[in-house]
Chains A and B, each alone.
Chain A
């Protein structure tokens, strides 16, 4: 149990480090990356807290959070790319990108 508490503390420290990157991140994508990574850590932290408190029901919440975290990242990226949610992602894109070659 002491080792589990130490792991939870390490996750807290890591979340704080990522929050620093979230606030000073120069570009939008750094912030999205920090949000996504914090979400991954929150999932593991939820499961750890469930183990520490002896309540395994926390695992269901962690499972749901893992799925919502993925949808959140995709939704944020889609919004900042098209500035709208009402765009089909299957549409063929004819965009100009700096193709390295």
Chain B
């Protein structure tokens, strides 16, 4: 029921923001549309904890300034590489271990990696991700530990940064040399 109320609030804000009119006809049309959308989403089963994670909004808003600063920093390195006469790049393929448990945290982590220029998530497995990086030093598994911790804090609500993922940094160079041939 709480999720239905949250969806109704979001839809009302969306309608008012998109139309900007406060005449009775338009408002009643909006109310009818919102009710139809709510009935459809309840029948489709889109109102549970997984589909509408309202309880994570505050943590995610706290996560965005870090993400924006990372994006700006990464943008400048990529722009510098594009403008260099001899593009001095070093593409690598590394496997990054993640401590994120829920699907939402994994989505946040993988999307953050893809959103920062210079690194793209190529494959997502259960507890690791295959990341293609434009520079070798910026795409080591240690470089993602901070983002991993923050993403799991935003998605799972707790950071389970045990020393377990740190014990595996020797896997990545092996994967690079394998893919070279």
Chain A residues close to B by CB (< 8 Å): 60, 97-98, 100-101
Contact = CB atoms under 8 A, between A and B. Distances in A.
11 contacts: A60-B18, A97-B123, A98-B179, A100-B93, A100-B130, A100-B176, A100-B178, A101-B171, A101-B174, A101-B175, A101-B178
B22 to A, nearest CB: 18
A97 B175 CA distance: 14
Contacts of A60: 18
A101 B18 contact: no
Interface residues of B, number: 11
Contacts of A98: 179
A60 B19 CA distance: 10
B95 interface: yes
Contacts of A97: 123
Contacts of B175: 100-101
A67 to B, nearest CB: 13
B18 A100 contact: no
A60 B20 CA distance: 13
Interface in B90-105: 93, 95
Nearest 7 A/B pairs, CB to CB:
A100-B175, A100-B179, A100-B178, A101-B175, A100-B93, A101-B95, A101-B178
A2 to B, nearest CB: 24
A100 B175 CA distance: 5
B73 to A, nearest CB: 21
Interface in B123-181: 123, 130, 171, 174-176, 178-179
Contacts of A100: 93, 95, 130, 175-176, 178-179
Which of A60, A97, A98, A100 gathers the greatest number of chain B CB atoms within 10 Å? Answer: A100
